[in-house]
Amino acid sequence: MARRKKGNAVHGWLVLDKPFEMTSTRAVGILKRLFNAQKVGHAGTLDPLATGILPIAFGEATKTVSFAVDGEKVYRFAVRWGTETATDDAEGQVVATGEGRPTVADIEALLPRFTGEIMQVPPQFSAIKVDGERAYALARDGEEVTLEARPVVIDELRLLEMPNEDVAIFEARCGKGTYVRAIARDMGRALGCRGHVIELRRMRVGPFAEEESFSLEEIEEAVEAGEDLSAFLRPVEMALGEILEINVSPSDAADLVQGRSILIRGRDAPVLGGVAYAISKGQIVALGEIEKGALHPTRVFNFGG
C-alpha cells in the first residue's frame, strides 16, 4: 500500500519578492509550511543579501523549473568604488583597494566591454561545484578556490545614475549563469579603482516580473485571515514562455499522460517541430518534442493528490 504524501497537492508558480538577508532555501521552507504543500522548489538561487524575484514552484510546476532558470534575468545593482572584497559584495572582507574614482564618461566608455557574450570568472563565494563541493563552502573554510572563466551573455548593461563619486547604480539584462557580483568586480578592476556590490535586486526571471510578485508578509497575512491561497498562484505553464502551446482533445491527452505519442492535426502540422506543450481543457498535460508530425511526450503532468 502506497504511503500517503504529507501536505496538500498544491500546483503552480508563486512570484516571491524575497526579503533581504534570507536564503532561497529558507524562503522555500517557509512557503512550504504556509501552503502545507507536498513539494516546493525555486528557479534560480538569489543571494541572501539580494532582494527581488524568486520564482517558487509548487507540485507539478517543479517539472518546468529548468525552463524558468534558463530565462533572461534583469538586475538593478549598486557598486561602491574603492574596495574589492572576498565575496564581491558588502559581506566580505576587503582584499584590495584602489585610488581615484571613475566619471560617468569613464563608465560609459567601459560598458561595451561587458555587453554581449563575454568570458566571466564566477565569484569564489558562489554555488558552483569544485570537486563535488560548493565553491562558497571551500572558500569559507579558507581554501584557495580557482574557478575557470566561462562564457555568459549580457544583453544590456546600463548606468542609471551616480548618487555620488563613490557609488554607481546599474541595470543589467543577462542570461543564465551570469554573476552580477563578478560584473562589479571586473568593472572595478578595469577602471583601476576596484569595486563591489552593495545592493542587488532581481527584477525579472524569464516571464516572472516584480509587478506580479508577493511578499512573505502578504502571504502570511492571508494565512492568518484564512484566505484561499490559490489566489497567489500562477499556472504551471507560465514558466514555458514562448514555447509552442498545442490544444489537444481529451482522448489525445489521455494518450500523452500514458507516455504515448500523438499525431498533430491541422494543416500546419507537417512544418511544426521542436519543443511544445499540450493543453487540454485549460490544463497542461505534457511537455514534449514534435517530430514528423507527432508530439512525443518527454514529461507528463499529474494533478492528482
Q: Which of 17, 47, 252, 255 is catalytic?
A: 47
Q: Do the beta carbons of residue 40 and residue 57 sit within 8 Å?
A: yes
Distance, CA of 138 to CA of 142 (rounded, Å): 7
Return the C-alpha cell found at 282: 485549460
φ/ψ of residue 128, rounded to 5? -65, 140
pTM: 0.89
Is the torsion defined by CA of 98, 99, 103, 109 positive or negative?
negative
Per-residue tens of pLDDT for the chain, all 305 residues: 455 668 889 999 999 999 999 999 999 999 999 999 999 999 988 888 899 999 999 999 999 999 998 889 999 999 999 999 999 999 889 999 999 999 999 999 999 999 999 999 988 766 666 666 666 665 565 667 777 899 999 999 999 999 999 999 999 999 998 999 999 999 999 999 999 999 999 999 999 999 999 999 999 999 999 999 999 999 999 999 888 899 999 999 999 999 999 988 765 565 567 899 999 999 999 999 998 889 999 999 998 75
Q: What are the residue ranges of helices labelled H in 116-192?
A: 135-140, 180-191
Q: Note if 47 is an active site residue.
A: yes
